[in-house]
Amino acid sequence: MTAMTPDLDKNTGDAARRRGRRRSGYLLMGATLLAAVGIFAGAVRRQPDITPPRFPAAQVVAADFQEAVQSVDRQFTQWARTEGVEMAPRADNLTILRRISLALIGTGLSLEEIRAVEMVPADEQVQWWTEYLLQDRRWADYFSERLSRAFVGTNQGPFLLFRRRKFNQWLAEQLEAGRPYDDIVRQMIAADGLWTDTPPVNFITATMDEDQKNRADPVRLAARTARTFLGQRIDCLQCHDDFLGTMELGEADAPESGTQQHFHQLAAFFAGTGLPDPVFRGIRDDGRTYRYKYLGEESEEEVTPQVPFYRELLPTDGKPRQRLAAWVTHSQNRAFARATVNRIWALLCSRPLVEPVDNIPLHGPVPPILDTLADDFQAHGYDLRRLIRLIVHSQAFQRDSRADFEITETHEACWAVFPVTQLRPEQVAGCLSQIARVTAIDHRSSILTRLQSYGELQDFLKRYGDRGEDEFDSDAITIPQRLLLMNGKLTRERTKNDLVGNTATRIARLVGDDGQAVQLAFLTVLNRYPSPREEQVFVAHLGGKHGNGRVRAMSDMFWALINSTEFSWNH
């Protein structure tokens, strides 16, 4: 018996400690619950903490803006008529708002944001949401990431000489400040200095490597300039003349078949670009000339800088890169405005007007809308925000991707319906991060939330894969991507029992009404209300379950919504 006493005491002590722990646990759970209720109620029932811009957009109601939109709309209507196809009706507001969100900030809407938009009159919601996002730093950050893929590629770049984060940050600041696009491009092409304190020179240093002994790579810069700023794929002219007869340069009234000279004369503008001593002064032009041995020639020859078309627009004075920058962004260089419009259209609609995005026939036929938008872009000082507004307000952007007639690829090709396109990996990851939260993950979010979101994003991107610079190629989902969405870490995180970290658990625990719970799940994940049939099926799945059973049922629902086509595709 005596031997039992210590055990008894121990048991008594353990029991007391367990009671204490349980009490603390209850208190903690209670506090967490209260906090969660507070946060959730704020999103679901109270007025959202979002301040709309006070007055959207004098620009949007201006007569010339409306005329431009109408002109674009007329041309799309004419295009559909020419193709002999019907046009889909306008999509519902939430669908359009999701498109805008995905394009401008790379995620869907948070529940709080949906509630905020719903407080705006229906006919003002698109305009309101567009303006809201264009004033949100998330737009500048995300758009700069997308644009920088075209400017400096997606590779790591040379160690020490290339600072992607600095470059993106600088680009985001330019976008946020509303700097004209032609000015941004001129800085990239012509800037001198160090890549750390003059970030636009990273456009140049991205092409440098150790083998080039502190010289920029004229060939890569020529190819990049032609593709990104002018919409001309002339890379193959590096090695040989165009023997397919598909590349016309020169002037409209005197077209020239592409030759090696066209390419290397363009490259010659960058021949003097490098890091002459003293290196700490950064990128400079040192006047070095460009030499090249053309295919079949016995020796190298000096190549004089020259542009491959619109030669009368090239200034005669100035340093080579300054002359080139002035020519690229010249108001009469139609290729520049066209290339920009085509890319911005693709960033907003996930598919360019002319495919591929960086190969627009210089003298060949293009959709008239491209020139209409290019003219407006040039006439309004290369204002990217105006161009975005113009596209978002066009009927083509707002058309539904479904209709009561049979939709074929011809309908999509002439924008009679909005095309169904796969989301980019970071958009899928962004949506997966966002659905954990009721409020938007933005600059107001805690640093921990943002760090967690960033970590999740990087991990997901690594596993999901990225198409690199070919970001508008149309691909189907792959089996590894499918497996990642079905079984991957991020999906597990979003569907596990976590009252603090997951919207799914919070809805299950805190929303007693099954119909409302199902609606909130659809709004959170797909940014739309369920159809009657969906509501019926999902409510039945949730019905009658309580406690952990209800949490598991809601996890099932979130898993199904995350794994739907709709979640991973823009529509």
Partner 1 sequence: MFHPLDTSSPPPRGAGLALSGCLGYRRFHRRRMLQMAAAGSTSWLTTVAERLARAGERRTTPRPKSLLILWLQGGPSQLETFDPHPGAWIGGDVQAIATRVPRVQIADTLPATAEVLDRATLVRSVISKEGDHERATYHVKTGWRPDPTVVHPSIGAIVCYKSPANIEIPRHISILPSQWPARGGYLGPAFDAFQMYDPANPIPNLVGPTSPEVLQRRLDPLLQTVESEFQRGRLRDLDRRRTQHQTTAREAVRMMTSEQLAAFDVKREGETTLKRFGDTPFGRGCLAAVRLLSVGVRCVEVELNGWDSHINNHELQTSNAAILDPALAATISELEARDLLEDTIVVCGGEFGRTPQINRAGGRDHWPHGFSVLLAGGPFRRGYVHGETIANPDPAWFKRKDSPEADSSRWVKDPIDVPDLHATLLYALGIDPSEEQMTPIGRPLRWSDGRVVHQLLA
Which token pair is 557? 């629902």
Question: Quick one: 224 or 321, whose CB is closer to partner 1?
Answer: 224
* Surface-to-core class of residue 406, CB atoms within 10 Å of its CB (0-12 exposed, 13-18 middle, 19+ buried): exposed
Nearest approach, Cβ of residue 217 and partner 1 (Å) = 12
Indicate whether 155 belongs to the interface with partner 1 (CB under 8 A). Answer: no
Please work out, in degrees rounded to the nearest 5, the angle formed at the alpha carbon of residue 108 by the alpha carbons of 106 and 114.
Answer: 140
Given candidates 5, 58, 404, 447, which one binds partner 1 under the rule CB under 8 A?
404
Quote the strand ranges of 210-335, DSSP E.
Answer: 248-251, 254-257, 273-274, 284-285, 290-292, 301-303
Nearer to partner 1, 131 or 242 (CB): 242
CA 367 to chain centre: 24
Residue 297 structure tokens: 């020639």
List the interface residues with partner 1, window 283-342 (CB under 8 A).
Answer: 294-298
Helices (H), 45-110: 58-61, 63-83, 93-105
Residues 341-380 that bind partner 1 (CB under 8 A): none
The stretch among 8-16, 121-129, 395-403, 502-510 that binds partner 1 (CB under 8 A) is 395-403
- Any contact of residue 531 with partner 1 (CB under 8 A)? yes
Binding pattern for the stretch 190-229 against partner 1, x by CB under 8 A and - elsewhere: ---------------------x------------------
Q: Which of 313, 379, 420, 539 binds partner 1 (CB under 8 A)?
A: 420
**For partner 1, the closer CB: 25 or 543:** 543
Backbone angles phi, psi at 490, to 5 degrees: -65, -40
Among candidates 558, 475, 557, 523, which has minimal Cα distance to 95? Answer: 523
26 in contact with partner 1 (CB under 8 A)? no
Distances (CA, A) of 481 to 15, 350, 465: 50, 19, 8
Among 502, 519, 568, 570, the residue binding partner 1 under the rule CB under 8 A is 568
Reading the block at residue 41, the tokens are: 């109620």
Q: Which of residues 77-136 bind partner 1 (CB under 8 A)?
A: none
CB within 8 Å of 102: residues ≥ 6 apart: 108, 423, 427, 431, 570
Q: How far is CA 187 from the centre of its chain?
A: 23
- Quick one: which of 145, 463, 497, 515 contacts partner 1 (CB under 8 A)? 463
Q: What are phi and psi of 256, to 5 degrees?
A: -125, 135
- Residue closer to partner 1 by CB (options 317, 404) is 404
Helix (H, G, I), strand (E, B), or coil: what is residue 233?
coil
232, 342, 401, 502: residue in contact with partner 1 (rule CB under 8 A): 401
Min dist. Cβ of residue 519 to partner 1 (A)? 14
Q: Say how many C-beta atoms besides its own lie within 10 A of residue 195's C-beta.
A: 26
**Cβ-based nearer residue to partner 1, 236 or 379:** 236
Tell me if 480 contacts partner 1 by CB under 8 A. Answer: yes
List 487, 512, 544, 547, residue binding partner 1 (CB under 8 A) = 487
| Closer Cβ to partner 1, 345 or 522, answer by number | 522
The number of C-alpha atoms within 13 Å of 567 and in the hemisphere containing its C-beta is 25
Catalog residues that contact partner 1 under the rule CB under 8 A: 211, 235-236, 239-240, 243, 294-298, 401-404, 406-409, 411-412, 417, 420, 422, 463, 468, 474-484, 486-488, 491-492, 495, 526, 531, 533-534, 537-538, 541, 556-557, 559-561, 563-566, 568-569, 571
